[in-house]
Structure 1
Amino acid sequence: MRNYPNEYIQYLLEFHGRRDYFECHEILEEYWKEHPPLERDSVWVGLIQIAVGLYHYRRGNHPGAVRTLSKARHILMHRREETTTLGLDFPALDDLLANYIQRIQANTPYESPMLPLADPALVSICEVECRSQGLTWGCQSDLADTPLIHRHSHRDRTDVIEERFKQLKIRRNK
């Protein structure tokens, strides 16, 4: 069995067990920032964008969802090998993203996808861990769970705002 980063396993649990796409984004963004190089076209960024795109889709932000899923697809197309080493079936993932972009453009109601995992050992790890956390692997999103659906609006963004202000000051001083 391959040795997958724990953060990636946690991403998959949130993605398929809680459908907390916002948390998926948080987990992998932190991992990506801690493991240079911080390439904007990293496989991690592509996976983050899948979660963000689905978060937008579920909330009804169709333009944001299409834009973000298209970016994810573009990144992962150029990171096929890395995507495959993460136990993902790249052709099936690319088809899934293309299908979801079409679904969104056709105003098809949101349904929770399953990322196409090609490594049975990875699936098994995730299923066992989901059960241990009282989650159901592959569950559908609870569309009535407002705090989950609109999670971004229920968080303290002080650190994000401070970091943006700091970066703006740096750019102005150059």
Structure 2
Amino acid sequence: MYPKEYIQFLAHFHGDRDYFECHEILEEYWKENDIKNKNSIWVGLILLAVSTYHHRRDNFTGAKRTLEKAITILKKESYCLIKLGLDPQQLPSILNERLSIITNHQPYSSFNLPIVDPALLRQGRSYCEENGFVWGADSDLRNRPLIDRHILRDRTSVINERKESLKLRKGNV
């Protein structure tokens, strides 16, 4: 019923709190299924994960900017929230509360999305269990490889893609 990537996103969001991985998983899914739509529900969820990643690293400017964009998209796409097993009334309240926390430069704390579909919740918890993390656990703020994942990753493929894209653009000029 739900895309496996969405279940993985939820499991990482609520389990190991790997927001970078949340972004990676849903970005790939969005690119394969809805890339022309910059206001896709998937983009809203990607931005939510990015904002949370920034907030945990005390990047309040980046966290606020991306959360504001996420809120705008998720508000416009609220009818999709029901299809994705999320409560369309609770989510905006949670996100506005997070925005207030970020705006006031309060520290990050783990939070959960309001999942209303018991089957989706079971699937997310099962994925966590199968992959060795616990649904609903707080983020380990001492885990630097998790907190600073964007710094520590291998960017070779990203750099190569940019070079190829640049070559194509220059060739088409």
Question: What band does the TM-score fall into relative to the shorter chain?
Answer: over 0.9
Aligned equivalent of 2:126: 128
Aligned equivalent of 1:39: 37
Deviation >3 Å, runs of 4+: 165-174
C-alpha contact 1:15 1:21 (8 A) present in aligned 2: yes
Residues 24-54 of structure 1: CA distance to partner in whole angstroms, max 9, x if unpaired?
0000011111113531111111101110000
Measure the CA separation in 2 of the matches of 1:170 and 1:163. Answer: 11
C-alpha contact 2:8 2:127 (8 A) present in aligned 1: no
2:46 maps to which of 48, 63, 67: 48
Identity of aligned residues (%): 51
Aligned equivalent of 2:117: 119
Measure the CA separation in 2 of the matches of 1:161 and 1:20. Answer: 23
Aligned equivalent of 1:57: 55
Residues 48-67 of structure 1: CA distance to partner in whole angstroms, max 9, x if unpaired?
11100000000111000000
C-alpha contact 1:73 1:97 (8 A) present in aligned 2: yes
C-alpha contact 2:34 2:40 (8 A) present in aligned 1: no
What TM-score, normalized to structure 2?
0.93
Instruction: List gaps (5 residues or longer) in structure 1.
Output: none
Aligned equivalent of 1:164: 162
Query: Where does 1:15-164 land on structure 2 (aligned, <5 Å)?
Result: 15-164=13-162
C-alpha contact 1:32 1:38 (8 A) present in aligned 2: no
Aligned-partner residue type, residue 133 of structure 1: N
Length, aligned pairs only = 172
C-alpha contact 2:23 2:49 (8 A) present in aligned 1: yes
Cα separation, partners in 2 of 1:101 and 1:132, compared to 1, 3 Å: same
**CA RMSD of superposed structures (Å):** 1.4
Measure the CA separation in 1 of the matches of 2:73 and 2:168. Answer: 28
Q: More deviation in 149-158 or 120-129?
A: 120-129
1:128 CA displacement: 2.6
What TM-score, normalized to structure 1?
0.93
Aligned equivalent of 2:11: 13
1:131 CA displacement: 2.4
